[in-house]
Structure 1
Amino acid sequence: MRHILPFAQPGQTIGLFGGSFNPPHRGHVHVSREALKRFGLDRVWWLVSPGNPLKTKGPAPLSRRMAAARALVTHPRIEVTDIEAHLGTRYTAQTLERLCALYPGVRFVWLMGADNLAQFHLWQRWEWIMESVPVGVLARPGDRISARTSVAAQRYRHAKLPASAAHLLGRTTPPAWCFLNVPMLDVSSSEIRARGEWE
């Protein structure tokens, strides 16, 4: 299994950026670069998911989304992966459990947009995720208020790091999370699909 998964050394801090990437776009790259810089990560792995359990309509075929993502990403420390397809995991908690077992000594940070934080309490075993890995939240336009007043934000307000300490997130014992306001590119996968640019 390890030969088809990305390489990471014990002691490294890896940001995990999951999603359907349907389609991937420059906004995903921008967020990944900001996460690398602001959270002090060694690498960011895109986890291009086989499908999103919270969405009824399936995304484009995985092979197409992977090819589009790899064509888009040129940063040497951002790696596009289909880890979940190889692991056979469907939910984030399952994926994190397997990765922590496969990569002893590697520190993982779960990355998400503020829109995901707003509905995080709907995710399977979301509290286990918060208790198991640090979480980095990157604000997107229009999602800041709902994210900050979300169930997850309220439940774990005691574990929130100030933005000034964002670079320490990966080395902080969970539960730990950090909310960053970052300059965002006004582009989304749903808008690209709505324009008919991704069938």
Structure 2
Amino acid sequence: MPPRSVAPSSRIPPHSDGMRIGLLGGSFNPPHQAHRDISLLALKRLELDRVWWLVTPGNPLKDVSGLQDLAVRAAAAQAMANDPRIVVSCLESFIGTRYTVDTIDYLRRRCSKVHFVWIMGADNLGQFHRWQGWRRIAAQVPFAVIDRPPQSLRALAAPAARALASSRIATPDAARLADRKPPAWVFLTGMKSPLASTGLRNPDGSWKK
């Protein structure tokens, strides 16, 4: 039986060989219902055992001046997740990584028999080509892109999506994505929430009630 969810941790969450685990990284500033909806959709459509929310100390591509304390964001993420299959972790603060590619390197070395899938919204696919080592990320783990209207058409026309077009698999094959040798990715529709963390923050960086 796979391990159940634990409180937010700075170390690698419990896992076992052969597990299929989705990785959803972000600042979670604040966490919101769309984070949970994305995770539940991925758990179902990709047939995952767990989704790990990797609460980052700070996104290198974003202004971090209004970023809430890591412990505050992690606790709020744990409350929002509210599902034993969604595990909140502050791993990146413990291992000292700033970039997704380095976090994935770390996890693949230490959890070599776990089948990881990176999860992102369509808005992130639109800027994926700006991520440090994005081609290496695509070569290391399969990834799933969750439709985030109205970003769909723009995201699928973005440089990374075009560059990796031949590696995109058909939606009916999504359940086997975790078993695919990368590069491989899928675009999943059906998640219609327009929520984004930016719209849930006040100008001073505090969270709206």
Shorter-normalised TM range = over 0.9
| Residue of structure 2 equivalent to 1:147 | 155
Structure 1, residues 128-153: CA drift from partner, whole Å, max 9, x if none? Answer: 00011001000101110111111111
| Residue of structure 2 equivalent to 1:104 | 112
- Say if 2:11 and 2:90, in contact at 8 Å, map to a contact too: no
Q: Residue type of the partner of 1:172?
A: R
Change (3 A) 1:191 1:105: same
Change (3 A) 1:90 1:136: same
Instruction: Give the 5 Å matches for 1:35-74.
Output: 35-58=42-65, 59-74=67-82
| Residue of structure 2 equivalent to 1:13 | 20
Q: Which has the higher helix share?
A: 1
Q: Residue type of the partner of 1:182?
A: G
**Cα distance, 1:184 vs structure 2:** 2.0
Q: Is 1:27 paired with 2:28? A: no
Percent identical pairs in the alignment equals: 44
Structure 1, residues 118-172: CA drift from partner, whole Å, max 9, x if none? Answer: 1100000000000110010001011101111111111111110111111111001
Structure 1, residues 23-82: CA drift from partner, whole Å, max 9, x if none? Answer: 001111011000000111110000000000001233111011011111112111100110
What is the total number of aligned residue pairs between the two structures? Answer: 198
Structure 1 length-normalised TM: 0.95
- Say if 2:10 and 2:94, in contact at 8 Å, map to a contact too: no
Q: Residue type of the partner of 1:17?
A: L
Structure 1, residues 78-116: CA drift from partner, whole Å, max 9, x if none? Answer: 001101011111100000000001112111100000000
Matched residue of 1:128: which SS? helix
In structure 2, stretches of 5+ residues that fail to align are 1-8
Q: Which runs of 4+ in 1 moved over 3 A?
A: 194-197
Q: What is the RMSD of the two structures over their aligned residues, measured on CA atoms?
A: 1.7
In structure 1, stretches of 5+ residues that fail to align are none
Matched residue of 2:76: which SS? helix
Structure 2 length-normalised TM: 0.90
- Say if 1:31 and 1:184, in contact at 8 Å, map to a contact too: no
Distance 2:48 2:19 in 1: 8
- Say if 1:17 and 1:112, in contact at 8 Å, map to a contact too: yes
